[in-house]
Structure 1
Amino acid sequence: MTCQKTSHNFTKIAFKPLHTNLFNIVLLSIFLTIGTGKLYSQDITKKTTGIPTKKQIDTSKSVVNNAEKSTEIINKETDSIKKDSIKPKKAFLDGKVKYRAEKYVKIDQKKKLITLYDKAELYYQDIELTSGIIVMDYEKNEVYAGRIKDSTGAYTQYPNFKQGANVVEPDSIRFNFKTKKALIWNSRTDQGEFKVKAAITKKENDSVYFLKGARFTTSTNLDNPEYYFQTSKVKFIPGKKVITGLTNMVIANVPTPIALPFAFFPMSKETSISGLILPSYNDSNTRGFSLQNGGYYFALSDNYDLTVLGDYYTNGSYGLRFESSYAKRYKYRGNINVRFENLISSERGYPDYSKQKIYNIQWSHSKDTKSTPNSSFSASVNLGSSKYFRQSINQANVGSNLNNTLSSSISYSKTFNSVPQVRMSLTATHSQNTQTEEINMTLPTLQLSVDRIYPFVGKDGLKKGFFKNINLQYNLNGRNSIVTNDSLFFKPQMFRDAKNGIEHTIPLSTNFKLFKYFSASSSFNYKEVWYTKTIKRSYDNDQSKVVDNIVNGFDAFRTYSMSSSLGTTIYGTFNFGDDKKIKSIRHVMRPSVSYGYTPSFEKYYDTYASDATGTMTKQYSRFEAGIFGAPGISNSNNLGFDLSNTFEAKVTDKDSTKVEPKKIMLLNNLNLSTSYNLNADGKTSLAWSPVRVSGGTQLFENKMNVNFGATLDPYAIDNSGARINVYNIDNGGSLFRMTSANMTLNYAISSKEKDKTKDKNVQSERNGGREDDLFGTNTDLNDSRKSQFDETDEGEDKISEFFKSELPWDMTFAYSLTYGNNNREKKIIGNSIMISANADITPKWKAGVSTGYDFVQNGVTFTQLRFERDLLSWRMDFNWTPFGSNANWGFFIGIKSGVLSDIKWDKRSNTNR
C-alpha cells in the first residue's frame, strides 16, 4: 500500500438573500435626527474646570451598489475616565474584511448582516471566498455562501472556498470565523493524487474533518469518473491520516465485490513517506507458487531513500533487492540497485534439479560540475553474474541477452592550477562477456599529465615557426589489469593473476608551415615502462614443455621513436550554372604523408631452449607478459598515406522566398589509407599494406545514416590462401582484391520530432541493452505501471508532418551487410534487417513491433509484439515474444497512480527461468 499526502477540500451552502425592512430604516432615521437629551437621578455640582465634550462617532453606513467595500468592524470605547466598572465590548472580528459584488451589496445594521450578490467576493485573514451569493453575519461570526440561478433556472457560480493552501469547491458552505467550524455540502477537493467528493463535510477544526457519503478516485473527471471508491464515513486528519469505514470499489458506476471493512491511509506533507509495498502473486512450473515484489519503502530523508523488495517461491527459491536513490541539489545525484537471487529448479532428487546463486549490482552517480569546477566524479556500474538477466525470476531484459556485454566505469579527475597545469584522473573499468563469462577489469588506472611547455617561445608569446613551436609534455599511465571469470570473481586467485605497470611518456613535437600551403609536424617520443613482475622462460624437463616462471622485483625498459607528417587541403568547385537545380558541387581533399621510425631494442631480449636437447633456441623478452607489452625486436620504418574527402552541393531551395541556395552534404567523409614498409625485402615480408576505404553520409534530412567500408589488398594469394609477393593484377586479377566489405543503414522517422531528452529505455541500456527498441523493450516486473511506449504530453501537437494524421507513429530501421573474400570464397557473411515500429491505432490504442530477418541463416530474428490501451485512470498492456529462447508473454491491467499501484492484475507466462 502506497501512502500519499493530502490537501483539504470541502463544500458550500446556498442561502436566499436577506432583504432589509425599509419601514424600520425610515423610522430609525427620524428618531436619530430629532436630537439628544440627558437624564440624571441627582444633581451634579459645578466644577471649576470643564470636562471636554466627548467626540461622537457616527456608526451609520450607507448602502452602495456595484462598488468595492472595505470595512473594519471593530467596536472601541473611548472614555476620559481611566477606571470603569463597565468593560468595553470585544470586537466582533479580529481583522479587516474586504468584500465586493457585481450586482449589489447590502448591509443590515439591525440584523448584523452583509449580503453580497452575483460574483461575490470576500477576503478575511487567510480566507478567500468567491460565490454567487455570500451572506456574512458579523454578530455570529458566520458566513454563508451558495449558488445562484441564471435566466434559464440553472445553478451557476459555485462557491470557491480557499483557506491557506486548501481549496474547496462545494455547492454551499457555512463557516464560523471564531470556532473555525464548517458545514459543507457536495464538496470537491484534491488530496494528493486523490480527488474527493463528499455529500456532507463537517469541519471540527483545522485538524479534524468528518465526511459522509464520500467517494475518492484518481480520475480527472470527478463528477463522472471511470472508477471510484465509495465509503459512508471518513475521518480525515490533515497531514497525518485518513480513516474510513466500509469501502467499496465502483467501476463504471457498477459496484464490485471488491470491498474493505475499513481502511487506514497514513498521510504526510513530506514529498514521500515510508510504507508497505504489497506483493503480487505468480506461479511457475519449475518453482511453484510465489509472492513477488513485496517489501517496504523507507523515506529516510529529503536526500535519499531505500526500497527493500523480496520474492519467495514455494520450492525454496527467493530473491532480495535493495534500491536507493540519492541527491543533493547543486552537488550530486545517483542511484544504487543491488539484486540477489537464490534459484532452485525442480525438486531435490529429480534429474532436472539445479541450484544457483546469481546477483547484479548497478550504481549510477553524477556530480554537478559547478559545485567543484576543478574536480569531477562519475560512476556507471553494471556487474554481477553473467547469467543474471537470462535466469532472473524478476527481470525480463532481452537487450542484455542479445548484446552479451556488461560494462562499468568509475572515474575521478582533478585539475591542479599550477604553472604548468597538471591533470590527474583515477579510473576503474569493467567489461564482462555474458556468454564466455570472461571478465576484464582495471583496478585502477592512474593517468597524470603535465600541460604543454614551450621552452623557446619569445616574450611576446607568439608561437610561429619550427623553433618557437617546439613543445614537450609529460604523461604517466599506471594500470592494474585483471582478467578472470565468474567463478574466480573477487577471490584471491583473481588478484594474484593481476598485471600492473607504469608507463612514462615524454613527447617532444613541433609544427610549422612549409611552402605556404603545407602543414608539417615532427615529433620525438620517449617512453619508459616500469614493471614489478617479469618472466623467465625455460624448458622444464619434468613437464616436457616450455614454462614461464614469475620473477618478482622492479624492472624497466626504455624506448624511443620519431615521426613526421606533411599535409595540405585542396578545394575544388564544379559550377553547373545559376539556372540549374544543382548549382555547384564542392570537393575538399585533405591528403597527408607520414613517416615513422622505431629502432630495434634487441638488448631487452634473451634466448631459451625450446626442446630437451637444448640445441633449438628462440628469442623472448622478459617483459612479454607485461600489461604494456615488450619493446620491438625489429625496427619499424614506414611511410603512411591518407586521403580524406568531403563532397557537398549547393541546390535551389524549395522555399521560393529564399534567395540563397541551400547547402546539402553528399558525403560526410570518404577516407583511404595505406602504408609502405621501407624495410621490407619483398620476399619474406610484403611492402604494401592493404588499402582501407571507409565513408559515410546522411540522407533524407539527416534521418538515414549510411556507413560503408572495404579492405583492398594489392597482393595475390596462393592456393592455401596465403599472401604472396605478387601483385594481384600481375596474377590475372584486378588492381586490388577486395578481401572484405561492409555496409550499415540506420533510418529513424516519426510523425513528429522526438524529444531527445526523453529516453524510455534508460534502464534497458544500463542493463546492457540498446537505447532504441530494435531489441524490444525491457520489462521490469517490479513496476508494470510504466508504459512500453514513449509518453506524449497532453495538449501536444500530434499532427503528422508526413501524412497529416492525428495518430502519432515512429519507426526505426537497421540493415547490415558484410562481405568476405579472404580466400576467394566471395561469400556474404552477414545480411540482416531489423525493424521496430510504434503507432497509435486509435487515440487510446497503441501497438508496437520489433522484428527482423537474417537472410544468411534464413530465419526471423528476435520478435516482440506490444499492445497498450489507455483506460484514462487505468492502463492495460500485453507484450508477446512468440518464439525463440526468450519466448514469453505478459498481461497487465492496473491503476496508473502510484498511490493505488497495488490495485492491478499482472499475469506472466510460465517459463523455465
Structure 2
Amino acid sequence: MQLIIFAKKLYVSLTCQKTSHTFTKIAFKPLHTNLFNIVLVSFFLTLGCGKVYSQEIKTPKKPLPAVKQTDKPSAPKIDTVKQKDNTTAVKVDTVKIDSIKPKKAFLDGKVKYKAKDYAKIDQKRKLITLYNEAELYYKDVELKSGIIVLDYAKDEVYAGRIKDSTGTLIQYPNFKQGASEVQPDSIRFNFKTKKALIFNSRTEQGEFKIKAAVTKKENDSVYFLRGARFTTSTDVDNPEYYFQTNKVKFVPGKKVVTGLTNMVIADVPTPLALPFAYFPMSEEKSVSGIIIPSYNDSNTRGFSLQNGGYYFALSDNYDLTVLADYYTNGSYAMRFESAYAQRYKYRGNINIRFENLISSERGYPDYSKQKIYNIQWSHSKDTKSNPNSTFSASVNMGSSKYFKQSINQANVGSNLNNTLSSSISYNKTFNTVPQARISLTATHSQNTQTEVINMTLPSLQASIDRVYPFVGKDGIKKGFIKNINLQYNLSGKNSFVTTDSLFFKPQMFKDAQIGMQHSIPLSTNFKLFKYFSAGASTNYQETWVTKTINKSYDENTNKVQTTTVNGFDAFRTYNFSTNLGTTIYGTFNFGEDKKIQSIRHVMRPSVTYAYTPSFEKYYNTYAVDASGRITTEYTRFEGGIYGAPGKENSNIVGFSLSNTFEAKVRDSDSTKTEPKKIMLLNNLNFSTSYNFNADGKQIQAWQPLLVSGGTQFFDNKMNVNFGAVLDPYAIDNSGAKMDKFNIDNGGSLFRMTSANVTLNYSFSNKGTKEQKNTQSQRNGGRSDDLFGTNTDLTDSRNSQFANEKEDDKDVITEFFNSKLPWDMTMAYSLTYSNVNRENKITGNSIMISANMDITPKWKGGVSTGYDFVQKGVTFTQFRFERDLLSWRMAFNWQPMGTNSNWNFFIGIKSGVLSDIKWNKRSVSNR
C-alpha cells in the first residue's frame, strides 16, 4: 500500500531553563512516498534537535502521541493516542537522574574579615580564626573583638576577649546589627537563624543603659534577658542606681517588659519593687503617657496628690499636657499646657490654669473659698512665611491674686510684680504707592493691687506713608518747599475699664467706650544758617465718639447730675509746632604721653515752640449754686476715650540739652598702637519749658528743670542712672508755690524737690552670667534671680547643672587648684524727697543675689536685701543644690515674710523616669 505524506511545517521548541523541558513537536501532512523514508527522516531530525546532558533532573512526562495516517489528503490534525499504544509513539530520552547532590553554598553573602596578628583557616574543621583586633563584616552585621572564630559549616561566629601581657582581659566584643549595638563579654551568633547568645551584654537604648548576664537574641526585633539591670547612669558597670530584674523581654527602640523588678541604690536593694514593669523606649521625640502625681500635705488643706495627669503627643506639630491637683479638704486645680510649632511658619505655647481653693473647714472662722485662674499665651510668626504681615501674641491675664495664692506656684518674681499685661497684634503692609499699613491690636493691663483692668478689644491703627507733593522729577528733597510732606493716620479703639469681679461680664461691655481719631500731619525740615536743623509741622485731628455726658444742677438734691448720652458726636482740633537744633563737638587734648589723651564732649541743644488754640466752643455751663447762680464750664467730651479739647490756648517754648562724654586712654596692652575709647557719660540731659500764658498764681511760667543721666563702669558690668527735679520757684510756709523765684526768696537758684539714684552691678569669676527665670519674666517678674529663683512645682527638674557637660577630667583636682566659681548681682536704690521742705530720704535699699559652686557637686545661693529706711531685712531666699550624677537634689527656703516657705526635691534627671521623685514643701497660708 502506497501512502502519500506531505510535511507541511516543522515546529521545534527548545528551552534552556530546565533540561526536562527539551522536546520536539512535529506535524505531518500526507505525501506520496514509502514508509522507510518516513522513518529515516524522523530519526535524523530527532538526533539533530536534541541535547545530551551528563546529569539531568527531570519530572515525569508523558511521551509524544502517535500520528494516525490516512490515504486521503486532509487538514493537519493531531491525533490523541493513549500512552499504552507504543507502536506509533515517539521515543523520549531516558537518561537516568544523577543521585549526587550539589554542595551547600557558604552563607549567602560576602564576608570580609581582618586581624592584626593572624587569620587562620582550618579546612578540615571548617573554621576561620581571627586573633587580636579582629574585625568581621557580613551584610548588616559588624563584629569587632579580641578573638573571632567563624564556623562556616554551622554558619556561626563566636567572639570573645583576649588577655594582655598582665593577664587582664581586653578588647571586649562590639556587635552591631543595623541600629542595635551591644558590648558583651562574649557572643555566639548564627547567620542563618539570626539567633545569638550574648554574655554580660551592655547596650544603650535612648536614655537607658542596659546590662544583662545572659541575653538570647531570638530575631532582629526581640531579645530575652536574664539577670538584667536598667539605669540612666553614665557607668552601667558601677551605677549610682539601677533596676534589677531576672526576666526581661526587650524590643529595641520600642519597649522593655520585665518580671519582678527591684530598685537598687548604691548596690543596696530598696523596698521599692514591682511585680512587673514596663519601660517605653520609643525612638520618637515624644510619646503619650501617664504623669504620676506626687504626694504632699498642707496644714490648711489636708493631704494632696499634685501634678498628676496625662501627656498627649498629638502630632509632630503640637502636644497637650493635662495636670491636676486634689486636696482632701475639697481644693483642686487643673492645668492645660500645650506647645505647637510649624517650621518656617509659626511657634508658640499656651497655658491655662484654674484653681478652686478652700481653706480650713466649713464652720470654722477662718474658712474661705475662692476660684482663681491664669491664662498665658505666647505666639510668634516666622517672617519668612510672609514678610508683608506679622502676627504675635504675648498674653498674661487672670486673677490678680493668682501668683500670691496659687497652691502650685512659689513664683516670687511674679508675686512681687504689680502689673499683668498682654498684647495680641496683627500687622499688614500693602505694597501700594504710597505704601499703606494696618494694625489690629488687643491690649490688656491689670493692676494686681487695685484689681483695675484696662483693656482694648481691639484697637485699630492705619496709616499711609508720607507724600511729598512738591518734590521734583529728580526726587531730591531739599529745602523748605520740597521737604513739605503729609500723612494720613487713623486710630480706633474699643476700650474697657473694669475690675476682676466684672471681667467679661455684661456690665463690662455696657461700660465700653468706642471712638475713632483721624489725623493729617503736615511737616517739613530744612537747614538754617548751614549749622542748624529746623523743622515745622501742623496737625489736624478729628475725633469721633459714641458716648458723651451731660451735666445739670438738681435743685431738689442740691447736686450736680451727670448723665451719659449715647450717640455719635465729634470734635476737631489743630496745633502748630516748630523746632531748631544743632550739634556741637568739643575736644580737650591732654597729650599722647598722658594716660588720658583726650576727652570728647558732644552737645545737642534744641528749642521747640508749640501752639494750640482754645476750643472753647465745645464747652457748656451749668448752675452749681441755687442762691448765687454761679456757673461752671464743662465739655460734653469730658472723660472720653481720646480725651477732650482744651479750653485754654497753649503757648509753650521748650529747651533741652543732651550731652555725651567719652575719652581716649592709652591701652594697658603695650603692643597696641591705637588708644582705647571709653564712655564717661552715656547721657546727661537737661530740659525745661516756659509757658507764655502762665498767670503766676495757679501756673508758673517756668517749669521745673529735669536732670537725668547714666553711665557704665567696670567693662559695662555696673550701670548707674540718676535723676533730679529742680524747681526755680519758692514755696510758702504751707508748702504752696509762690510766684517768686527761690533765689529771690533767700535760697539757691534751684530747689531740689526730688532725686533718685539706681545702681545695678553683675559680676562673676566665671565670665558672663546667663539670664535665667524665663518663666518668671513671662509672668511679669525679673529675668535674673535678684528676687530668688522661680519655683514652678510642675517642673521641678530645672537645675543649675542642666547645661553642664560631663567631662572625663578629674574635676575634684581641677576644682581645688582653681578659684571657687561664683557670681553676684547687686541692685541699690536711693530716693530723696523735698517737696515741702521735708528734706528726707524716702527710699534706701539694697538687694543682693549670689551663687557659688561650693564643691564640684554642691551649689548654693542666696537672695536677700536690706531697707535702710524701714530698718529691716527685705525678701530673703536660700537655695542649695546637689548633683547626684543621675539624680538631682535641691532645697529652697524663704524664711520670712508672707511668702515664707520651703521646698525639698530629689529625683532622677532623666525625662524617661521623671516620675521617680520625692517632693516635699511647706507653703504659707495665703
TM-score, length-scaled by structure 2? 0.87
Distance in 2, matches of 1:907 and 1:551, equals 59
Matched residue, 2:67: none
Query: Are residues 793 and 750 of structure 1, via their aligned partners in 2, closer, same or farther at CA, if it must alter by over 3 Å?
Result: farther
Cα deviation code 1:486-540 (max 9, x no counterpart): 1101101011111221111111111111111111111111111111111111123
Aligned residue runs from structure 1 range 211-360, under 5 A: 211-360=225-374
Matched residue, 1:903: 916
Give 3-state SS (helix, strand or coil) of 2:480's partner: helix
Query: Are residues 790 and 217 of structure 1, via their aligned partners in 2, closer, same or farther at CA, if it must alter by over 3 Å?
Result: closer
**Which runs of 5 or more structure 2 residues have no equivalent in the other structure?**
1-46, 55-94
Matched residue, 2:893: 880
Query: Are residues 625 and 717 of structure 1, via their aligned partners in 2, closer, same or farther at CA, if it must alter by over 3 Å?
Result: same
Distance in 1, matches of 2:863 and 2:871, equals 18
Q: 1:619 aligns with which of 633, 637, 654?
A: 633
Matched residue, 1:865: 878
Task: State yes or no: 1:434 paired with 2:448.
Answer: yes
Distance in 1, matches of 2:662 and 2:588, equals 11
Shift of 1:548: 2.0
Query: Are residues 241 and 796 of structure 1, via their aligned partners in 2, closer, same or farther at CA, if it must alter by over 3 Å?
Result: closer
Task: State yes or no: 1:768 paired with 2:780.
Answer: yes
Q: Which one has a bigger Cα radius of gyration?
A: 2
Cα deviation code 1:399-456 (max 9, x no counterpart): 1221122111111111111111111111111111112111111111111111111111
The one-letter code of the counterpart of 2:794 is: N
Distance in 2, matches of 1:546 and 1:490, equals 31
Give 3-state SS (helix, strand or coil) of 2:672's partner: coil
Distance in 2, matches of 1:613 and 1:166, equals 101
Aligned residue runs from structure 1 range 837-856, under 5 A: 837-856=850-869
Query: Are residues 48 and 304 of structure 1, via their aligned partners in 2, closer, same or farther at CA, if it must alter by over 3 Å?
Result: closer
Distance in 2, matches of 1:542 and 1:318, equals 55
Q: 1:665 aligns with which of 662, 679, 701?
A: 679
Shift of 1:811: 0.4
Give 3-state SS (helix, strand or coil) of 1:105's partner: strand
Query: Are residues 753 and 454 of structure 1, via their aligned partners in 2, closer, same or farther at CA, if it must alter by over 3 Å?
Result: farther
Q: 1:583 aligns with which of 563, 581, 597?
A: 597
Aligned residue runs from structure 1 range 373-772, under 5 A: 373-541=387-555, 543-612=557-626, 615-754=629-768, 756=770, 759-772=771-784
Is residue 899–residue 924 contact of structure 2 (8 Å, CA) maintained in 1?
no
Is residue 898–residue 924 contact of structure 2 (8 Å, CA) maintained in 1?
no
Shift of 1:845: 0.7
Is residue 788–residue 866 contact of structure 1 (8 Å, CA) maintained in 2?
no
The one-letter code of the counterpart of 2:779 is: N
Query: Are residues 84 and 274 of structure 1, via their aligned partners in 2, closer, same or farther at CA, if it must alter by over 3 Å?
Result: farther
Task: State yes or no: 1:167 paired with 2:196.
Answer: no
Give 3-state SS (helix, strand or coil) of 2:735's partner: coil
Query: Are residues 636 and 575 of structure 1, via their aligned partners in 2, closer, same or farther at CA, if it must alter by over 3 Å?
Result: same
The one-letter code of the counterpart of 1:186 is: N
Distance in 1, matches of 2:759 and 2:802, equals 23
Shift of 1:809: 1.3
Matched residue, 2:836: 823
Is residue 452–residue 499 contact of structure 2 (8 Å, CA) maintained in 1?
yes
Query: Are residues 684 and 489 of structure 1, via their aligned partners in 2, closer, same or farther at CA, if it must alter by over 3 Å?
Result: closer
Shift of 1:755: 6.5
Query: Are residues 187 and 795 of structure 1, via their aligned partners in 2, closer, same or farther at CA, if it must alter by over 3 Å?
Result: closer
Query: Are residues 146 and 840 of structure 1, via their aligned partners in 2, closer, same or farther at CA, if it must alter by over 3 Å?
Result: same
Distance in 1, matches of 2:839 and 2:545, equals 46
Name the Cα RMSD after superposition.
2.3
Matched residue, 2:792: 780
Distance in 1, matches of 2:52 and 2:600, equals 105
Give 3-state SS (helix, strand or coil) of 1:282's partner: strand
Shift of 1:748: 0.4
Matched residue, 1:26: none
Q: 2:127 aligns with which of 104, 113, 117?
A: 113
Is residue 500–residue 626 contact of structure 1 (8 Å, CA) maintained in 2?
no
Q: 2:221 aligns with which of 207, 212, 216?
A: 207
Shift of 1:685: 2.9
Distance in 1, matches of 2:801 and 2:231, equals 25
Aligned residue runs from structure 1 range 784-799, under 5 A: 784-787=796-799, 791-795=803-807
Is residue 772–residue 785 contact of structure 2 (8 Å, CA) maintained in 1?
no
Cα deviation code 1:231-255 (max 9, x no counterpart): 1111112344321111111111111
Shift of 1:680: 2.4
Q: 1:835 aligns with which of 832, 844, 848?
A: 848
Is residue 206–residue 283 contact of structure 2 (8 Å, CA) maintained in 1?
no
Shift of 1:84: 8.6
Distance in 1, matches of 2:145 and 2:506, equals 78
Q: What is the count of residue pairs matched by the alignment?
A: 836
**Which runs of 5 or more structure 1 residues have no equivalent in the other structure?**
1-46, 55-80
Is residue 283–residue 910 contact of structure 1 (8 Å, CA) maintained in 2?
no
Distance in 2, matches of 1:588 and 1:164, equals 70
Of 113-122 and 420-429, the range deviating more from structure 2: 113-122
Larger relative contact order (Cα-Cα within 8 Å, sequence gap ≥ 6)? 1
Give 3-state SS (helix, strand or coil) of 1:763's partner: helix
Query: Are residues 85 and 561 of structure 1, via their aligned partners in 2, closer, same or farther at CA, if it must alter by over 3 Å?
Result: farther
Distance in 2, matches of 1:107 and 1:455, equals 97
Distance in 1, matches of 2:100 and 2:583, equals 106
Shift of 1:52: 12
The one-letter code of the counterpart of 2:790 is: N
Of 142-151 and 185-194, the range deviating more from structure 2: 142-151
Give 3-state SS (helix, strand or coil) of 1:466's partner: coil
Query: Are residues 49 and 317 of structure 1, via their aligned partners in 2, closer, same or farther at CA, if it must alter by over 3 Å?
Result: closer
The one-letter code of the counterpart of 2:778 is: R
Distance in 2, matches of 1:910 and 1:401, equals 14
Of 439-448 and 262-271, the range deviating more from structure 2: 262-271
Is residue 429–residue 438 contact of structure 2 (8 Å, CA) maintained in 1?
yes
Query: Are residues 683 and 786 of structure 1, via their aligned partners in 2, closer, same or farther at CA, if it must alter by over 3 Å?
Result: closer
The one-letter code of the counterpart of 1:238 is: P
Shift of 1:189: 0.7
Amino-acid identity (%): 79
Cα deviation code 1:528-577 (max 9, x no counterpart): 11111111111234553212211111111111111111111111111111
Shift of 1:785: 2.0
The one-letter code of the counterpart of 1:766 is: R
The one-letter code of the counterpart of 1:535 is: I
